[in-house]
Structures are given as C-alpha cells and as structure tokens.
Amino acid sequence: MHQNDTDPAKVWGLSYHGWAAVFVAAMGCAAALNISGVVQGSARLWIMFVPLVLVPPMWIAQARMLGKRGYSSPALARYNRRLGLAGFCYMAAFLSVVHVFDQYRPGPAATSGLAVVAILPAVAMIVVMVRYLQEETDEYLRHRATSAALIGLGFVLVLGTVWGFFETFGLLPGLLAWWVFPVWAIGLGAGNFWLARRAQ
C-alpha cells in the first residue's frame, strides 16, 4: 500500500474511518444478500470476498492513524499485524469451506474437518486479542481496546435479543449461530471508530 501524498495516514486516499465505513457497509450488504436468499450458489462466495479484500488497507490505515496521533505502542503494532493476518485467514477459510461444502457435499468426517479449518482462525483472533491485553503496558490503549470489545459484545447482545424475538414470532428467518463472531467483529470495529472520533 502506498501512502497518500498529502496525508501519510491515508491508504489509497481513504483514512481509517473511511475504510472502516466501507468495510461495515460491505459486510452489511453481503450479509443482507445472503440472509435474504437473493444470492444463491457460488455467487455468495464472491459477494463475501468484497469485505475480505478491504481488511488489509483498513488495518494499515488504522496503524498509520494511531501512529500519527501518538496512540501507538510495540504491543499495538504486533496486535494489528497478528489480527490483520488472522482476520484475513478467517474470512478466506470460512468462504472457502462454505464453497467446498456447497459444491461437493462431503461426508461427515470431511465436513467436520472443513468446520475445524474455519474455526481455527477465529480462535486465533480471540487469542491475539487476549495476548494484546496481556502485553499492552499503556493503560489508555488497554482501556480503549477493552471498551471497543465491550461495545462489540453489547452489539451482539442487543441484535441477538431483537432478532430472537422477531424470529420467535415468525417475522424474521432463523439465523445461523456462526454469525455471532462476524457481528461482534463489526461491533468491535464500530466501537473503535466511535472511540477514535471521541479522541479527536
């Protein structure tokens, strides 16, 4: 990624806030298309790849923004690299195993293996977050990371409760449980976005 000529914190002309907004919008659109059933077959895979390609520039822009504002540390730099890599692997693995399952319908043993392939990067992301909180010595940065995680958790709890009641009364379709992690990640990103705006 090359730096913007006028603002070194930008990536391809967009700040972290711009990339985060585009990422959240792309995730929301992809989720809506998949849940509604408008998109079927392998097209679902390609639609979900759009948010995937937005992850690297978004994380790079965030790292540059935090460094420019002085909100950086060696632990945060390691966290950004690890989480960016784990997040990319999670989305790539998830989309790949869904595609393989839809196309080939393997047996129970192979399907279990596919599930594990998708699960491991998600577990790695959680481990990365825990390690960051253990390694971070800056109290403000640690507080900010914890606050963003709690915002993500609150987002999951509110959305899950609302969706659950609407689903109970037949107003919304059933939602697969694996959506909990992506929804929490969206809430985490939204929390980071809001906290960054407050810090300005």
**Mean predicted confidence (pLDDT) in 30-53:** 75
In this prediction the pTM is 0.72
Residue 3 pLDDT class (50, 70, 90 cuts): very low
Q: Is 163 strand, coil or helix?
A: helix
- What percent of the chain has pLDDT above 90? 29
Mean pLDDT across the chain: 83
Supply φ then ψ for residue 14, to 5 degrees: -115, 140
